[in-house]
Amino acid sequence: MDIRTVPAICDNYMYILADPYTHQCAVIDPVESHTLLTVIHSEGWNLTHVFITHHHLDHSGGNEFLKDNPETQNVPRYCGEHCENVTDLIVDGQIFNIGGIIVTALLTPGHTSGSMCFYAETTSGERNPAVFTGDTMFTAGCGTFLQGHGTAEQMYYSLNALGRLYPSTSVYPGHEYACNNLEFSLAVEPGNKATKIKLKDAQAATLRRPVKADVTTANFPNTPVPNPSTIGEELTYNPFLRVNERNILKHCETSDPVKALHILREQKDYFNIYKVLPRKPKTSPRKCPCCRSPSRKTDSVQMCKCCESPGKRTCC
Rounded CA separation 82/102 (Å): 24
- Report phi then psi at 95, rounded to 5: -115, 140
Give the burial class of 22: count Cβ atoms within 10 A of its Cβ; 0-12 exposed, 13-18 middle, 19 or more buried. Answer: middle
Q: Is 56 a catalytic residue?
A: yes
Catalytic, 251? Answer no
Confirm whether 2 is a catalytic residue: no
Q: Active site residue: 49, 55, 59, 262, which one?
A: 59
23 part of the active site: no
29 is catalytic: no
Question: Which one from 49, 175, 251, 262 is the annotated catalytic residue?
Answer: 175
Of the candidates 19, 29, 49, 111, the residue annotated as catalytic is 111
In the set 2, 11, 23, 58, the catalytic residue is 58
- Known catalytic residue at 59: yes
DSSP E strands, the chain: 2-8, 12-18, 24-28, 46-52, 77-79, 88-89, 95-98, 101-107, 116-122, 130-134, 137-138, 141-142, 170-173, 229-230, 295-298, 301-304
Contact 110, 136 (CB under 8 A): yes
Active-site choice (56, 149, 251, 262): 56
- Pick the catalytic residue from 29, 49, 54, 55: 54
Q: Which of 55, 135, 251, 262 is catalytic?
A: 135
Q: Which residues of 82-99 are buried (b: 16+ CB within 10 A; e: fewer)?
A: ebebbeeebeeebebebb
d(CA 132, CA 31): 15
Tell me how far CA of residue 108 lies from CA of 44, 58, 171, 187, in angstroms: 33, 18, 14, 27
CA distance linking residue 36 with residue 282, whole number of Å: 53
Active site residue 54: yes
Query: Active-site residue numbers?
Result: 54, 56, 58-59, 111, 135, 175
